[in-house]
Amino acid sequence: MENKKLTLSVSEAAEMLGISRNLGYLLARQGKLPGVLKLGQKRMVVSRKAIEALLDKNILRGNCNGSA
């Protein structure tokens, strides 16, 4: 059984989504990146499950451009 972290950095989440790190942080600050947890005033982490659910939802809807 693979032991995955429950949370990701914003950079890791951005990489999973195929967006830039800067865009990931912008979306997180705007509340548009799902699963963001703010820890203190500066630290942010992202729920792995929220990102995986977003990707699954978009794949099921056919909102995927087909690139891996």
Residues 44 and 10: beta-carbon distance below 8 Å: yes
- The two three-digit tokens of residue 68, written as one number: 């891996």
User: Which pLDDT score is estimated for 65?
Assistant: 59
Q: What is the pTM of this model?
A: 0.79
Question: Can you tell me the distance from the alpha carbon of 39 to that of 37, in angstroms, rounded to the nearest whole number?
Answer: 6
Average pLDDT along the chain: 89
- The predicted model gives 6-28 an average pLDDT of 97
User: Which pLDDT score is estimated for 64?
Assistant: 58
- The predicted model gives 33-58 an average pLDDT of 95
Q: Is the pLDDT of residue 66 over 60?
A: no
